Amino acid sequence: MAALRLIARRFLQLAVVLLLVTFFTFSLVRLLPGDPAKTIIPFGSDQQRAALAKDLGLDKPFLQQYVNYLGIPVIKSEGTTGLLQGNLGRKYSTNQPVGELIKQSLPVSIQLVIYAQLVALALAIPLGVLTAYRAGTRTDRAVNTTAFGFLALPNFVLALLLSYVIGARLKWLPTAGYEPGWLDPLFDSARTPSVEHLKYMVLPVITLAVGQVAIYMRLLRSDMIATLQENFITMAKAKGVPNRRILFRHALRPSSLTLLTVAGLNVGTLIGGAIVVEVIFGIPGMGTQIATAIAAREYVELQSYIFVLAFIFVLINFVVDFCYILLDPRIRRARADA
Amino acid sequence: MTVPVAEPTAEPVPGAPLLEVTDLTTHFATPGGIVRAVDGVSLTLERGKTLGIVGESGSGKTVLSRSIMGLLPKRGTIRGGSVRFDGVELMTRSPKEMRDFWGARMAMIFQDPMTSLNPVMKIGKQITESIRHHLDVDREYATELAVNLLRSVRIPEPERRLRDYPHQLSGGMRQRVCIAVALACGPALLFADEPTTALDVTVQAQVLDLMAAQQRERFMAIVLITHDLGVVAGRADEIAVMYAGRIVEKAPTSVLFTQTRMPYTKALLSSIPKLEHPSHSRLATIPGRPPNLVAPPAGCKFAPRCAQAQPRCLEEDPPLVPGVVPGHEYRCWFPVGTPEGDDALARNQAAGTTAIAGGAA
Amino acid sequence: MPEPTPDAVPPVGADGNRDLDRYAEGSLEPGLVVAQANLYVSAVESGGEGTRRVGRGLGIGAWLAIGWLAFIVIVAVLAQLGVLPLKDPNRSYVSCARRGPFSTDGTASGFLLGCDSNGRDMIARLAYGSWSSLIVATGAVLFGLVFGGTFGLIAGYFGRRTDAVITSLFNVFLAIPAVVLALALVAFLAGAAASTGRSSVDPKLILILAIGIVSIPLLGRITRASALSWSQREFVLAARAQGAKPVRIMLREVLPNVLPAMFSITLLGIAVAIVAEGTLSILGVGVRPPTPSWGNIIGLDRGRLKESPHIIFLPALMIFFTVLSLNFLGDVVRARLDVRESAV
């Protein structure tokens, strides 16, 4: 079936991209001028560096190192485990397996991003529909100007603003800290969810969502304006269908395709991309982990984080493509016709 | 089968024609100026009759139909004149009131059936939506009505088709579905805007026959809009020819063909290829292009392209005058088939040019 | 008008079916294109639809934007040249420490906007900071344009395999969230500079390289889309038929047509880069203190938000207005060029 072939092809393309990402992060440390061990621990002693070099196999040829890193069976050196065996390395200073750290921090980021997307969509969809329906009127211009303003507001500025006004001055909500939510126990059974979870998430979620609302609203507005000019909308009008029904039942569905795709893909990008927001609000998610790892020059740890982020992104991409290919009745039919 | 009819919002006036359009104008405000898409059109239509409106693209025929129905967007549109449906003035109705008319008392089918149907909505839903909005019936009854409608437009296996999406049907079937959607609530007036242009020739006749059958069954009036004289020739009781936003000739069908007066109509007739012509004969065309609707020329709007144009045509705009047969009107200073017209043509042919210096031909 | 088409959704063909083969080929992939920055760009530029364009002349908004930007640039340049009567941005005045513009203790005279937590004059730091922020942002975008643009041009012109390879390379970088990638690059570049003993490398250069590299795939995709559509025009075919070499065609035929679209992208790109610099500074890897930049003024005193909010919000305001002006101008420029091309 042609759809299967398409899916397989997509899978291959994405797998290649993921592989190249690992190659890139791996090479970054190894290929820069200077001694890699010195880059990783610039302030350590010579013995520490020698031990590290042996540990990471820095004495072996580059390609051999890479193969070991990946952990391709048969080709890799004896006794080493690589990425494909699930070895994500260890944090140098505490010797904790990076997998553990990810288990603790990933669900935090995921929840943050999902909440933000839901809030953003809940606001963007009605606003997008409204401004498309009233395109060119004062309402439209007012909403659009506001959105334009929010687009120009960097998320760290908004984060600090909210932190100051609502957190420090009005003291309605905490400005830093975290309590586990519904997703955490799934990753780490030691955590128990708490209602306080939401209190800590409100400000960061608002910060992230606001930036997204402006983008999503405009995206939907564009698409809806185009759809509203289609013949079938005039046809629906000529049937006497009331305007609200036309907007939400007829026009919204065909126009929302791009928006939903983008929202889905954004989940992937934001999990790591919300770094600043996490850092400012003290949310212990992937972003904070990455920031700390970089500050502490834990490059092995960083490598794994980047891999996991890229993996999630690629995975989401693949799922989105999968849905596209399978669910769009027109694509299926076109292939069947051909 | 009996089709329930929706309650009217305003009382119909007994004895009034179904549709009475008086001096309708529709102008659009654009950055380039005011476009006079419809510039003073008057027509009447009785129940059960068919009016054909013929014109090139840009003649204003599509705008006319949408303007009569009131479907044009409010912003930038300036309408004037009067449109009376069953005696009720439509120009002054609010959109909410118009919605009671749309679908229930007047309906429209469009040129391209692929784009007139919602691609992501099932056929059945698109039909029952209209039914359930206008008529107070439950879902099962609406579905039953939909099945019957599909059957009456000759779609095989109607129960199955309800669950299909538009792209799963062929072009001809889609247009039939559009007809079904339009007729769902039993309107008294149907606008068919180029209903067959996007279809195969073989399917065209079927669709037109179907519409005629429905018309007889429902005693419905049809306004058939097309650029193709061949389509209206056998189907319309009366034909109105539009040019540059106005009606330039209107007559009962046979009269239009036999007593053509307006040169534009004549030119349209001559451009229809006929079987009797020898092979490889050149198709007659009308030279030039339709006028700029923002700044139309003074005088007759067709003069720049007219074979028998005279100086007077460039200066004075001819009004609609009645012809010999009642119901025949035309707009020309030197009409075809009259001594003045023949003279004008002869003079031009002798001089080798028309009234326009440099000639538009 | 060959506006770069958003590669998000496969176009609907005339008969309502999607163009499946192009979809499969990957040239219309919905994924791996949606980087936050690209979304941002399309969001800024989508505002004009459905609204009527003001005909002649630039609106008041555009003039305000130009005015602000001119002001900032002039201040930055003059401050850097030492021409302005500003205090030393690195000198601490103990009396002023943490005092804001509206402090109840009365602003120490001469410090109109207050000082930061080290007692350094805010006005001076903001003025000198403009230079750092603008240089980094502009440098990064130019770097990205040169390299990303070149790759994009090549990919768009040659198509097929070359395009597939280059796009895959872009996708590799796009698979990593931009901030993370920039952070990683800064860290690695700084680490490399340190380990080879060149720790005196200007951190601005590192930032320019890092943000520049991150922007390469983003700008590259846009250039590629534009180059792709221009390359399919007949005049390119004509040039090829006359035996012109590819490099010549790219430079003489395709590039001049792609450039106008890039003007507005450049403006938007600088806006994004300014925000990026701010983000990196907050995370501690921006321009190295004591050299000020808008970002690191905020970053350094982030902890003092409660007592001395002005330290945070004054540079934030500068960033906001600058980004707003750049966005607005970017949109205006694009609208202008659009109109002109469609009139042709």
Cα A273 to Cα A98, A286, B81, B319, distances in angstroms:
20, 9, 60, 71
Contact at CB, A32 and C192, closer than 8 angstroms: yes
Q: Is residue A192 part of a domain?
A: yes
Residue of A nearest to B103 (CA): A239
**H or E stretch including B19?**
strand B19-30
Residue A6 maps to a domain: no
> Residues A57, A175: one domain?
no
Q: Using CB atoms, which residue from A231, A237, A330 is nearest to B167?
A: A330
Identify the three-state secondary structure at position B36: strand
CB A85 within 8 A of CB A71: yes
Take residue C33 and report the two structure tokens written for it.
């294109």
Whether A13 is in a domain gets the answer no
Chains with ≥3 CB–CB distances under 8 Å to A: B, C
Asked if residue C289 lies in contact with residue A165, where contact means CB atoms within 8 angstroms, the answer is: no
Boundary residue ending a domain (A46, A64, A87): A87
Q: Give yes or no for residue C329 having a pLDDT over 50.
A: yes
Average pLDDT, integer, range B252-280:
83
For residues C111 and A301, the model is more confident at: A301
In contact, A208 and A270? CB cutoff 8 Å? yes
pLDDT score at C285? 85
pLDDT of res. C274 = 92
Instruction: Tell how many helices (H) and how many strands (E) occur in chain A.
Output: 16, 0
Average pLDDT over residues B259-272: 85
Q: Which of 72-131 (A) contact C at CB < 8 A?
A: none
CA distance B355 to B313: 8
**Among C282, C308, C310, C318, the residue to mutate for chain A (most A Cβ within 10 A):** C282
Pick the last residue of a domain from A87, A106, A123: A87
Q: Report which of residues A6 and B158 the model is more confident about.
A: B158
Residue B248: C-alpha distances to residues A324, B54, B251, B256, B330 (Å): 52, 10, 10, 12, 5
Number of domains chain A contains: 2
Q: In terms of domains, do A252 and A126 share one?
A: yes
Q: Which residues of A touch C191 (CB under 8 A)?
A: 32, 39, 42, 297, 299
Neighbours of A55 (CB within 10 A): 12
Cβ-Cβ contacts under 8 Å for A158 (sequence gap 6 or more): A207, A210, A211
- Is A238 within 8 Å of B103 when comparing Cβ atoms? yes
pLDDT confidence bin for B224, thresholds 50/70/90: very high
pLDDT at B239 over 90: yes
In a domain, A5, yes or no: no
Whether residues A77 and A220 fall in one domain: no
Q: Chain A residues within 8 A (CB-CB) of chain B?
A: 136, 230-232, 234-243, 250, 253-254, 329-330, 333
- Measured between beta carbons, the chain A residues lying within 8 angstroms of C53 are none
Output the pLDDT for position C338. Answer: 65
Cβ–Cβ contact B167 with C under 8 A: yes
A81-130 confidence digits (pLDDT tens): 677 777 777 776 777 888 888 888 888 899 899 999 999 999 999 999 99
pLDDT tens digits along C223-255? 888 888 888 777 777 777 777 777 877 787 788
Chain C: nearest CA to A196, how far in angstroms? Answer: 23
For residues A43 and A140, state if they share a domain: no
- Predicted TM-score (pTM) of this structure: 0.77
Task: Tell me, yes or no, if B47 comes closer than 8 A to chain A by beta carbon.
Answer: no
Q: Identify the CATH number of the domain in which residue A218 sits.
A: 1.10.3720.10
The sign of the CA dihedral A209, A210, A211, A215 is positive
Question: Which residues on chain B are in Cβ contact (under 8 Å) with C16?
Answer: 114-115, 119, 166-167
Disruptive mutation site among C183, C293, C300, C314 for chain A (greatest number of A CBs within 10 Å): C183
Give pLDDT, residue C57: 66
Tokens of A115: 């909440």
**Domain end (from A60, A87, A114):** A87
Residue type, A88: L
**List of residues 6+ apart from B151 with CB closer than 8 A:** B158
Q: Please give the Cα distance from A9 to A20 (Å, whole number).
A: 17
Cross-chain residue pair B130–A232, CB shorter than 8 Å: no
Q: Does residue A273 sit at the C interface (CB-CB below 8 Å)? A: yes
Beta bridge partners of B109: B192
Question: Is A272 a member of any domain?
Answer: yes
Containing structural domain, residue A289 = 98-337
Q: Convert the pLDDT of each residue in A29-65 to its tens digit.
A: 666 656 666 666 666 677 777 777 776 666 677 777 7
Length of chain C: 344
User: In chain C, which residue's Cα lies nearest the Cα of B76?
Assistant: C52
Q: Which residue has the tokens 């007729």?
A: B183
Asked if A330 lies within 8 A of C12 by C-beta distance, the reply is yes
Altogether, the residues listed in chain B come to a count of 361
Nearest CA distance, A194 vs chain C (angstrom): 28
Query: Are A167 and A285 contained in the same domain?
Result: yes
Do A161 and A285 sit in the same domain of this protein?
Answer: yes
Distance, in Å, from the CA atom of A278 to the CA atom of C161, rounded to the nearest integer, reads: 41
CB A216 within 8 A of CB A259: yes
- Min Cα distance C243 → chain A (Å) is 35
Task: Answer whether C282 touches A (CB < 8 Å).
Answer: yes
The order of strands in the sheet holding B19-30 is B33-45, B19-30, B77-85, B88-89
Contact C191, A32 (CB under 8 A): yes
Q: What is the least distance, in Å, from the CA of A32 to any CA of chain B? A: 54
Please list, in sequence order, all residues whose beta carbon lies within 8 angstroms of the beta carbon of residue A9, skipping any fewer than 6 positions away. Answer: C24
The lowest-confidence range among B315-319, C38-42, C312-316 is: C38-42
Whether A149 is in a domain gets the answer yes
Same-domain status, A211 and A62: no
**Which stretches of chain C are DSSP H helices?**
20-25, 36-45, 60-81, 122-158, 160-174, 178-195, 203-231, 234-241, 246-249, 255-282, 294-300, 309-343
Taking the C-alpha atoms of residue B160 and residue B152, their distance in angstroms, rounded to an integer, is: 15
On whether residue A22 sits in a domain, the answer given is: no
> Any chain A CB within 8 A of the CB of C84?
no
Chain B residues in contact with C53 (beta carbon < 8 A): 31
- Judge: A239–B133 Cβ closer than 8 Å, yes or no: yes
Q: Do A334 and C309 touch (CB under 8 A)?
A: no
- Does residue A301 share a domain with residue A229? yes
Tell me, yes or no, whether A141 and A107 share the same domain: yes
Asked if A67 and A107 sit in the same domain, the reply is no
- Those residues whose C-beta lies under 8 Å from the C-beta of residue C285, and which sit 6 or more positions away, are A294, C183, C186, C187, C190
User: Searching chain A, which residue's CA lies closest to the CA of residue C51?
Assistant: A136
pLDDT at residue C12 in the model = 36
Which residues fall within 8 angstroms of residue C63, CB to CB, at 6 or more apart?
Answer: none
- Let me know if residue A24 belongs to a domain: no
Chain C partners of A335 at a C-beta cutoff of 8 Å? 20
**In 3D, which of B96, B162, B99 has the Cα closest to residue B134?**
B99
How would you class A54 by CB atoms within 10 Å of its CB: exposed for 0-12, middle for 13-18, buried for 19 or more? exposed
Give me the helix-helix angle, C178-195 and A286-295, nearest 10°.
10
Minimal CA separation from B115 to chain C, in Å: 8
Residue C39 to residue A266, Cβ atoms within 8 A: yes
pLDDT at C8 over 70: no
Q: Is B115 in the A-facing interface, judged by CB distances under 8 Å?
A: yes
The answer to whether C327 and C64 are in contact (CB under 8 A) is: no
Residue matched to tokens 């031909």: B361
Chain B: give the shortest CA distance to residue C14, in Å. Answer: 9
> What's the pLDDT at C343?
42
| Same domain membership, residue A62 and residue A134 | no
Distance CA B208, CA B199 (A): 11
Q: Which of B236-240, C43-47, C115-119, C212-216 has the lowest mean pLDDT?
A: C43-47
Q: What is the ipTM of this complex?
A: 0.83
Q: Are residues A61 and A134 in the same domain?
A: no
Provide the shortest C-alpha distance from residue C156 to chain A (in Å): 20
Residue B24: pLDDT band (50, 70, 90) is very high
pLDDT at C306 over 80: no
Residue B116: closest C-alpha in chain A? A232
Q: What is the mean pLDDT of residues B5-11?
A: 52
CB–CB of C55 and B31 under 8 A?
yes
Q: Strand B77-85 to strand B19-30: parallel, antiparallel, or no bridges (unpaired)?
A: antiparallel
Q: Is B57 exposed, middle or buried (0-12, 13-18, 19+ CB in 10 A)?
A: exposed
Residue C149: closest CA among C70, C222, C66? C222
